[in-house]
A = this chain, B = another copy of it.
Amino acid sequence: MKVGILGGTGPQGRGLGRRFAMAGHEVLLGSRDASRAEETAAALAEAGNVAGVANADATDADLVVVAVPYQGHADLLTSLADRLAGKVVVDCVNPLGFDKQGPFPIEVADGSAAQEAQRILERSTVVAAFHHVSAVLLDDPSVTHIPGDVLVLGEDREVVGQVIELAAAIPGARGVYAGRLRLARTVESFTANLIAVNRRYKTHAGIAVTGLDEGDA
């Protein structure tokens, strides 16, 4: 599959790009700054087929992942709405603020970043996924098993299934349906809890759903 990544030079975008490429997908790594995207793509060349392009050109894919900071989220999607029409858009944006006590979820008028994306991209099918997989582990090619599940939220069962399949690109991870888009805020916000876990236990925590099969913790 051809996968575009908006914000592909950030930690999450870069890490996902590496893993999608390692799994044999063709990756268009997008950035506001195409020359930065080219540099990052060159650094990922060992992983597989990765090209660095401007964000607008990263929409020339079967599926487009949105991995930009929340601050630029609405503006970027508004500017790309025509190009993204008819496509699957996977939002992994976590709207968080930070203060001296650490991260916390910030209010989003639409409920969640994913619902905001779906409102802006009315001709696209938006799915929320890939919020919790550690960027540090994703971007480390020596890590061959990334524990944890990819929670996938969306309205269209077939498209959710496609993203669950895409999650298999991350070794050790499993895509799990975790509700409709209106429940995405909880999943986006949970990233703040995982950062609290990371600080307390000095780790790169992830999340797994138990009770699905004999393989769980």
A201 lies within 8 A of chain B by Cβ: yes
Contacts of A101 in B (CB 8 A): 180, 182
Instruction: Tell me the A13-37 residues at the B interface (CB within 8 Å).
Output: none
The size bracket of the interface on A is: 35 or more
The docked-state distance in angstroms from the alpha carbon of A190 to that of B186 is 6
Interface of A is mostly: mixed
Instruction: Pick the contact of A217: B147, B182, B194 (CB < 8 A).
Output: B147
Q: Is A85 close to B, CB under 8 A?
A: no
A183–B192 touching, CB < 8 Å = yes
Tell me whether A204 is interfacial, beta carbon within 8 Å. yes
> Given A147-B210, A217-B147, A217-B216: A179 and B203 within 8 A (CB)?
no
- In A153-195, which residues have CB < 8 Å from any B CB? 153, 176-180, 182-183, 185-187, 189-190, 192-194
Say whether, besides A193-B151, A217-B216, A207 and B207 are in contact (CB < 8 Å).
Answer: yes
Taking a contact as CB atoms closer than 8 A, the residue among B153, B180, B208 that contacts A207 in the complex is B208
Q: Are A217 and B148 in contact (CB under 8 A)?
A: yes
CB neighbours (8 Å) of A205 from chain B are: 209-212
Q: Is the CB of B189 within 8 A of A177?
A: no
CA distance A183 to B185 in the complex (A): 13
Would B203 and A148 count as touching, CB distance under 8 A?
no
Q: Can you name 19 extra interface pairs (CB under 8 A) apart from A197-B212, A217-B217? A: A102-B180, A104-B182, A105-B186, A148-B217, A149-B217, A176-B201, A179-B196, A186-B189, A186-B193, A187-B190, A197-B209, A201-B211, A203-B211, A204-B211, A205-B211, A206-B211, A208-B208, A208-B216, A215-B217
Pick 10 A–B contacts, CB within 8 A, sort by A: A147-B210, A153-B193, A178-B193, A179-B197, A180-B196, A187-B193, A194-B209, A206-B211, A208-B216, A216-B217
